Structure 1
């Protein structure tokens, strides 16, 4: 049994001492006769693997565990409050080939305005399914996801309410995707794979992963783009609007085989720990990079001050880890726009992805892109005119 627990305060990327923990199964954790305990197999970050008692497995086969819950108890402390109920994997034989070659998992909050472009773009280069972990958005995300689903995009929307639990969310997504996805990319909504060679993402994956080399994680370098002289959100989208970036590469993001992950599910958002004999490899920048539209116009960028989703990253309004690479030098802890913000982070003019998007997405008659609201209105007008026999 895999349990995700908020509040353990364990060190990142390190195994904890499993003997200090116990897994608790039952109907009422306040009364000892209604619960029983089992050993913890591993504990890391916010992820605990429990030895599932045989009686629980028997109840699963009999379908009598509907009200059963599972929780964790730390040595000398009370049982954690829990809403977790054990789920059980299908015992049916899985097909050799999974239904999707490539999926994406992301965690977001209030990013609805960017989702159409991000989903439509990545669908064009080979992504088949999206797992959206929604960390308490209060924008228009439900309507946007409904629109994309009705347009044929395979999107699973998962409410993930716990603050600062991105690593646990990604581990949860990896477990969910394992049955249906050969590969899963873990990227944010402001990150776009930029392929420099012919072919889509599947071509890149097949280039780097072969049965004989045991590659199960493909790490792609990221380049951060700045406001590019803009002061308002670009109507055509981020790929068209932001065209100036920093020269140096920053962190990488990964595409992984979920069935090759280490059983602890340890990850640092950018990559996972793999089990033996699997290895990771780096993508050459001449083959593919990630365009990270990190420093957008101030109206968008200032939202980063209010909450960071990663577990081990301090919120920017706090006087903690002010020298972290997650922060922007010189900004401090207040969301106050610098006078020169629109011209910052501009060292290299990079029009590559913008030009590709123009060639592959722009409507030749209207010069609109499919993620623009005007494009949808244009399509509806054309349909009405066609129905009336005008076209």
Structure 2
């Protein structure tokens, strides 16, 4: 507002006073109409937020709570440096003091996973003592929350998951984000060269060193089921500089697993102690191409156990199975499984708490952080090597699968000999036992049955589908090839396949819809990478009639019900049921 007065001095003073009073009333009215709120903070710093498309004003203590996402864009070029954009409508101005100096960018390695998730790996030298409260900052200044995911072993590295913002998905090529503790104070990126975002479909994601060789786990080299590149087409490469790295020949190439001899000790820098880890990758010789890698060459590694070597272990890959785990562990430990090796595929429930409780109760359970999605077969291959020193046989079954034999129905209580006797009485050339699966349906359940899956699901399909195996680790072929829970064996070893009326695996596959919907999103087959894509529509990993979206089909609760089968339900109730103050319950119920 401007007041122009061309009169003597007294009239000028009076006019100025009138202008001040009028402006004071105008400002009070403007503040009241925009619901102005002013509250001092401990530091007496305030933030004024201006909505860029309306004249309304709001005042709040600084710093403002971090939103779930922030877009810092559309700021006028002439805006002062202590402005920050919270979203595309709102700017934040620090009034009494400017924001702290932006931190230096943290160098990370990031991978674009299915579902527009970005997997961020923080080098060990950058590891923060506080893994919470981080954000991913992208090249176009968009920000998304970074959820702490876990720590990769060998070498120790923190990992995070953050969604790739919608606008960033439209900018090709995709660039890796940076990490920051606050979207209000992004790291300084002037002059920063944004590296390309690695693609999950083409990556060396893990490695394991044995006494004799190195095993690499690689996406995107053998991409078709049953078709594998010849080892002669490939080389293992040791060193960050691939062009000058040490190379050794690949000896086996199957699915996502590749093996090669270890390099000469004098050919690479020493490993261990404070020395920098050595990256290891895979070269496709025929294409003169080295696959991007986040894997490192380490000294030989193997699982160690204070309880010595077990005759029979169980291995499975898990994700958010805390509610199922007690039933599965208690049941199988009583029929002969001595050790449980869980490959944790990014659980964010209370899995670790349940594991710790079971360990305190005397169960031998080991968890291994296996971050990689859709890699169940590769994880089984890893376990076959990693656990070889502490397990003689491994049964590869999932947490929703239970071994059952009708001849056990007359036994008053379970015994560890029920499974172990199958291993002891067979010839030395037996390398694998194959057991058919029976697939159970929702059985009218709408939610997870409180007494457990063996008690809640009792209606199944008539015919068996697939099979699961108990494998002698010494009998597994060097290629580590496995398909649907059974392995290729060394020459001279044989597989014995049981008929369904002898022993079966009850697979509680199609559970109440909320449980199956979560399973749908994270299926771990190597050949159904994403259930929402119309690839491999006839795969047995797909639920018949479900289609390509996680939408509950009509009549789901009644599906897959061709035979009412109460065999294991009744047996488990006899073995593990008990009276309690609140009524009848199972041993695994808390």
Per the normalisation by structure 2, the TM-score is: 0.58
| The 10-residue stretch of structure 1 (222-231 or 66-75) with the greater mean CA deviation from structure 2 | 66-75
1:30-69, Cα deviation, whole Å (9 max, x unpaired) = 672xx31111111111111111233269988998977334
TM-superposed deviation, 1:344? 1.4
1:196-234, Cα deviation, whole Å (9 max, x unpaired) = 234757444544665646111100010011111222221
Q: Report the secondary structure of 1:2's partner residue.
A: strand
1:357 maps to 2:572 = yes
TM-superposed deviation, 1:269? 2.8
Q: Report the secondary structure of 2:251's partner residue.
A: strand
TM-superposed deviation, 1:335? 2.0
Contact 2:336 2:419 in 1 (8 A): no
1:38 maps to 2:260 = no
Q: 1:202 to 1:18 in 2, by over 3 A?
A: farther
Name the structure, 1 or 2, with higher relative contact order (CA <8 Å, separation 6+).
1
Contact 2:460 2:560 in 1 (8 A): yes
Which of 324, 335, 343 is the matching residue for 1:114? 324
Contact 1:305 1:315 in 2 (8 A): no
Alignment of 1:164-175 (within 5 A): 164-175=374-385
1:266-309, Cα deviation, whole Å (9 max, x unpaired) = 11132100001001111122321001001111111112331221
Q: Aligned partners of 1:73 and 1:218: how far apart in 2?
A: 37
| The 10-residue stretch of structure 1 (117-126 or 138-147) with the greater mean CA deviation from structure 2 | 138-147
Contact 2:374 2:529 in 1 (8 A): no
Q: Aligned partners of 2:263 and 2:297: how far apart in 1?
A: 14
1:137 — aligned with what? Answer: 347
Contact 1:10 1:16 in 2 (8 A): no
Which of 284, 289, 294 is the matching residue for 2:499? 284
2:513 — aligned with what? Answer: 298
1:303-356, Cα deviation, whole Å (9 max, x unpaired) = 233122121124221111222222222222222223311111111111111111
Q: Aligned partners of 1:83 and 1:58: how far apart in 2?
A: 16
1:3 — aligned with what? Answer: 216
1:323 maps to 2:535 = no
1:94 — aligned with what? Answer: none
Contact 2:277 2:296 in 1 (8 A): no
Contact 1:225 1:292 in 2 (8 A): yes
**Greater helix content:** 1
What is the Cα-based RMSD across aligned positions, in Å?
2.6
2:466 — aligned with what? Answer: 251
Q: 1:234 to 1:211 in 2, by over 3 A?
A: closer
Which of 243, 265, 271 is the matching residue for 2:486? 271
Aligned length: 364
Contact 1:42 1:48 in 2 (8 A): yes
Contact 2:440 2:459 in 1 (8 A): yes
1:99 — aligned with what? Answer: 309
Q: Aligned partners of 1:230 and 1:249: how far apart in 2?
A: 22
2:230 — aligned with what? Answer: 17
TM-superposed deviation, 1:263? 0.3
Q: Aligned partners of 1:12 and 1:137: how far apart in 2?
A: 28
Contact 1:253 1:271 in 2 (8 A): yes
Q: Report the secondary structure of 2:250's partner residue.
A: strand
Q: 1:209 to 1:80 in 2, by over 3 A?
A: farther
| The 10-residue stretch of structure 1 (360-369 or 150-159) with the greater mean CA deviation from structure 2 | 360-369
Contact 1:12 1:268 in 2 (8 A): no
1:82 maps to 2:297 = no
Alignment of 1:187-266 (within 5 A): 187-198=397-408, 202-204=417-419, 206-207=421-422, 210=425, 212=427, 214-266=429-481
**Greater strand content:** 2
Q: Report the secondary structure of 2:534's partner residue.
A: coil
Q: 1:295 to 1:89 in 2, by over 3 A?
A: closer
Per the normalisation by structure 1, the TM-score is: 0.85
Contact 1:170 1:269 in 2 (8 A): no
Q: Report the secondary structure of 2:585's partner residue.
A: coil
TM-superposed deviation, 1:171? 0.1
Q: Report the secondary structure of 1:304's partner residue.
A: helix
Contact 1:104 1:129 in 2 (8 A): yes
Q: Report the secondary structure of 2:579's partner residue.
A: coil
